[in-house]
Amino acid sequence: MSTPERRGLLKDDSPMTAPSTSTPSPAQQFTTRHRPGYARVPSVSVSFNEESLARDITDSPGEDETAPASSHEGVGRSHGLGIALPPGTNSRSPRVSSPLSNDFSTPNQKSGTDERRPMASPPSTGGLSGSTRADTSSDAGLLSVKSRYEDFEPHHNCQSARAVKHRRLGNCVSVTILTLAIFSTAFSGIFLGIALYGPFYGRRIRAEGGSLTPASAAFLTSLFARLIELSFVTVIVSFIGQALARRAFKLETIRGITLAELSMRTWVMQPGTLFTQWESVRYAGITFLGATSLLAALFALLYTTAATALVQPQLRFPDWQHQVMQGIVKMSFANSVEVKNECVLPNNLIYKDDTNASLTCLQIEHASAAYHNYFSWLQTWTTVLGIGNSSIDLGDRPPGYALYADNTTIAAPWIERQNVTAVNSTRWINNVTMAMPHVGVIQAAQDTVNQIVQPSEVEGAIYNIRASVPSPMLNVLCVTMTNADLKPFVYDLWENKSKAFNSNDTNWNDHLIYTDEFAYPYLNSTDYPNGTQFDDTFGWGLAYGKYNVPPVFPRLPKDYNIILNGTDGMPWGRTSIYVLGKGGPTDSLGNAMEDSDGNAFNYAMCQLQVGLTMNCSTSYNASSSGGALEAHCEDDNDQMRYLLHAGEEDLKLQGRAAFSKEWPNIGGEWARSLSYNDGMRDGDSANARTLTQLILTSANLSYGLPSLAEAIAVQAGDTLIQSIKDSPFVGRAWNYTLPNIDSQPQWFNATIRSQQYASGGVQPYEKAFFVVLFGVCIMNVMILVYFLWHKDWYSDFSEPTSLFALAVNSPPSAGLSGSCGCGPAGEQFALNWKLNNDDGHYYMEPQEGQGRGQENNMVNVESPRLSRQRWTETFEMMGSPGIAVKKRFSRS
């Protein structure tokens, strides 16, 4: 009798018996062992084609695949490592279901062929071929369905190597999370405070010279916003993990955790899963923790955007703020000597010993500025006429215009506006007053002592200033006369003149005698004992002040010419200069300007005088493209009018006392530079021709043309700029000994609105991001309190690696049937799971009473060699640690 062959690698030494033709009973089949053992897998060297190598585990196996033919048949055939098969065994073996199959539909199905087959696997087709996988198209190479708990029992061999619960400060992970929570809370609070307060950084943030440049400020804001966002995400994910771990670890908690809740950390870390895994949101989003996670995901997604909108410094206007500004004073108002000395030309253009060098320079400056301003103003008139928006109301007509320093436009409004009046019903009075802003405000605004951010320092910055300072003003009074009316004022028309007029005599005015007693040639004669009919109109006579005497012109100008009466030969103290012009034969409407007797009534005598007005404030707007300076006058709502801040000494200089006695020296040079005296020799200058066509010949201003007084005021506007530059910011009389001084500071009231870098947002819609900043800050505070409140720290098993290790060492559950390859779906997200402990081995189990029935608590696999009873016993053993834990806690 031959010795029976023993099994190659089985743990038992029972002899292998020959197969019987009768069907063995279950007792006979399983008497030698209680757990299914692994049979030694036979091996046959085979070759694989490219098609078999290209297949993966997702491919469906074929119904039948023919095994490779062997060169030996019958008993002598070799099968792997010496496991003999009985003679006559067919090389085509029935399929064996995989032990990993999830087929739970036929638990009681048996095969007669399987009952007669020994507990050994069919021959393998890849045992020693070098392949790492078996051919799944046949029964060859399939492992035994023995439970993995046979060799590796988790409840004995998988005790946790580290404690799942420790003190809050007893682990580097918890300390790191707590540090991040403190950082995120502190800086999110700082960001929220900055956004709410909206501080202005002034000159601290600018392109050059500041503590930060705009680019570096934006970089730091983005950097810290990103750090807050990342730390917030880490903290919120840790909070979710701790909350779920505490619920899962504590068995007294009725409810466990669900897969939907385990997905909440993914919502925060990968917000796109809210759409791709929407079923988890459906089941967990309505819970408190789910809603918190949804908000956290939204806040984390928008936090950097919110910080950019509300915290990152942006150019913004603050409210108007009062400030006492400092300016520099160098001379008195309308100081003709200082104005002349300020004019500079290249030295090689003028001889150094030329005493008229400064006057030459000054006249060039007058001419260039006056003509430029005048021409630009006429262009404005052209535009107004083109759109049909002209008016006879002086307040609605184009204001005066000037350009300062080639980059600042000046608007000079008409003040003390009057309608056209008449002397003796036929002599039309054209009286206008133009106010010019105080250009010294520009120097003060650019002075670093006032700490105003300049457009050159911050690209795109704008600032506005309203200064309570007096404004220079120019009054031009023109009266239309006849040649008979001019007899007292034209030397050539005098009957008792001491010397005949000679146009070549440049010293003709030497014959005029002026005394303190108003001794005026001809007017003191018996012909004019009470003066002229125009004395009250022009303010002549002792009643209006010393040296307020009528002008004397050498001759009458011819058509389209102007003659100047300056201050030559008069004692100092006169406040006015005069010009006399004559228009053409017809006016602008085509009316004849001369009657049949040769009497012309197209003459106009104009008085020019300059002073300071207290009823204005100066407005200055500066930007990188230039500035705009404007006098804001006669507005009762303007609280910055100098009149409201003037002292007692300032109020003394009002009315005619406000007119400057220095300005006529400046005005005379200005008039000569613009050919206002060319009419002495019939010069027919272009400027005179243009002006004399504007002489008023009717009771109203013209809709289509400016008046003569308006035009002269615009041309003389540059003298106001020269007079007020470097002059005091107060309206009182000059109180220094010398007319010009070294730079001295002087202060004035102003309100400022300087566009500068500030936090808090610019656009109204950006205010909505306060919800994000506020939400992140509140969540950080609450989570930090949560961390500090709990002294213990649990291992976060919701982390993918921890969850994977926990899952592979946990019993399978029927509640997740059908999810092995494609993941859970539907109500599987809502199944409750508890974390159990068996002597240090942790595993997951579903809550009792869940699933599709009692049969779902076991895995039923159709196998040709294993019965349902063996599978039941195997999985009962796998679930035994959980049962033991529950029993132990129930006894306690």
Structure confidence by residue, pLDDT tens digits, 770-783: 999 999 999 999 99
Q: What is d(CA 441, CA 447) in angstroms, rounded to the nearest whole number?
A: 10
Higher pLDDT: 566 or 154? It is 566
Which among 237-251, 459-473, 531-545 has the top mean pLDDT?
A: 459-473
Residue of 503, 509, 611 lying closest to 557 (CA atoms): 503
Average pLDDT score over residue span 314-334: 92
Percentage of the chain surpassing pLDDT 90?
33
Encode pLDDT of 24-63 as tens digits: 443 344 333 333 333 334 444 444 444 444 444 334 444 4
- Report which residue type is found at 779: M
Encode pLDDT of 749-765 as tens digits: 999 998 889 999 989 89
Q: What is the pLDDT of residue 173?
A: 83
Average the pLDDT over each of 374-383, 467-476, 842-851 and give the range with the smallest value.
Answer: 842-851
Average the pLDDT over each of 146-160, 184-198, 499-513 and give the range with the smallest value.
Answer: 146-160
Extended beta strands in 238-360, E state: 314-316, 321-331
**Dihedral, CA of residue 751, residue 757, residue 759 and residue 763, to nearest 10:** 80
Average pLDDT score over residue span 711-715: 96
Contact call for residues 475 and 608 (beta carbons, < 8 A) = yes
Alpha helices in 407-453 (DSSP H): 440-446
Banded pLDDT at 77 (limits 50, 70, 90): very low
Q: What is d(CA 268, CA 291) in angstroms, rounded to the nearest whole number?
A: 12
Q: What is the pLDDT of residue 120?
A: 40
Q: Read off the DSSP letter of residue 547.
A: T
Q: What is the pLDDT of residue 34?
A: 38
Encode pLDDT of 339-356 as tens digits: 888 887 776 565 555 667
Rg of the chain over Cα atoms, rounded to whole angstroms, equals 53
Banded pLDDT at 471 (limits 50, 70, 90): very high
Residue 845 has φ and ψ, to the nearest 5°, of: -140, 145
Mean pLDDT taken over the chain: 75
Residue 785: Cβ within 10 Å count: 12
Q: What is the pLDDT of residue 47?
A: 44
Which among 10-14, 201-205, 465-469, 798-802 has the top mean pLDDT?
A: 465-469
Contact call for residues 361 and 669 (beta carbons, < 8 A) = no
Higher pLDDT: 125 or 272? It is 272
Contact call for residues 331 and 739 (beta carbons, < 8 A) = yes
This prediction has a pTM of 0.69
Q: What is the pLDDT of residue 107?
A: 37
Q: What is the pLDDT of residue 529?
A: 58
For residue 721, pLDDT beyond 90? yes
Q: What is the pLDDT of residue 349?
A: 62
For residue 196, pLDDT beyond 50? yes
Average pLDDT score over residue span 477-497: 87
Q: What is the pLDDT of residue 150?
A: 56
**What residues contact residue 802 under an 8 Å CB cut-off, 6+ apart?**
795, 796
Average pLDDT score over residue span 464-493: 92
Which among 471-480, 788-797, 867-876 has the top mean pLDDT?
A: 471-480
For residue 184, pLDDT beyond 60? yes
Average pLDDT score over residue span 267-278: 78
For residue 99, pLDDT beyond 70? no
Residue 166 has φ and ψ, to the nearest 5°, of: -150, 175
Which among 189-203, 266-280, 839-853 has the top mean pLDDT?
A: 189-203
Residue 724 has φ and ψ, to the nearest 5°, of: -90, -20
Residue 508 has φ and ψ, to the nearest 5°, of: -60, -30
Banded pLDDT at 23 (limits 50, 70, 90): very low
Q: What is d(CA 61, CA 306) in angstroms, rounded to the nearest whole number?
A: 55
Q: What is the pLDDT of residue 522?
A: 59
Encode pLDDT of 794-812 as tens digits: 877 778 877 887 778 787 7
For residue 747, pLDDT beyond 50? yes
Domain ranges of the chain: 159-317+755-798, 332-486+556-752
Banded pLDDT at 582 (limits 50, 70, 90): very high
